[in-house]
Amino acid sequence: MSQIVFDLVYREKGEKKSRQIKIDFVSNYMRREITEYFQAAFEVKSNWNKLNDTASDIAALRIEKKDGYKIEVAALEAEQERITEDILKHNNSGLVDKNVNLLIELLQDNGIKDEKMVDPKFWDKCVEPSQIIEILARALNKDTDKKKVNI
């Protein structure tokens, strides 16, 4: 069983601090949950990109004003509404908070009981989201990075 050591950098009231987090246990349940979280997050990011592309297409059509452009604009605006609904679906499902909840559960599974480390407010106010995502990604891949696969 391998172990990862993550150097967490955070800020409390403007003061930069750090702490090491050691993770040596990631259950199958946690792997499934983290994978589902990343899949949903990827879908949201993909939809944001589509939304931006659609907005650019609409702007270009309005500038060019070719015959029938209003029909194309209406179709793209309908597509924007559908994409927006998909994005909001994930927001309403708790995706925004899921990464912190998964991280706290992972830390508890690894024996971390420090009140600060298991407080969602700490992660929300003091830690950059990219660090939370990196911890989850490294935990997900902790055993696969070094193993050789025999086929």
Tell me, what's the pLDDT at 150? 45
Dig out the tokens for 122 from the structure.
């700490």
| 12-19 LR contacts (CB < 8 Å, sep 24+) | 12/126, 19/117
| Integer angstrom CA distances of residue 47 from 61, 86, 148 | 21, 8, 35
pLDDT per residue as tens digits for the range 92-139: 777 778 999 999 999 999 999 999 999 999 999 999 999 999 999 999
pLDDT per residue as tens digits for the range 51-90: 999 999 999 999 999 999 999 999 999 999 999 998 888 7
Q: What is the 3-state secondary structure (H, E, C) of 78-107?
A: HHHHHHHHHHHHHHHCCHHHHHHHHHHHHH
Dig out the tokens for 11 from the structure.
């800020």
Q: Look at residue 151 and tell me whether its pLDDT is greater than 70.
A: no
DSSP letter assigned to residue 150 = P
Name the residue with higher pLDDT: 76 or 151: 76
- Measure CA 21 to chain center: 20
Tell me, what's the pLDDT at 145? 53
Contact 19/5 with Cβ under 8 angstroms? no
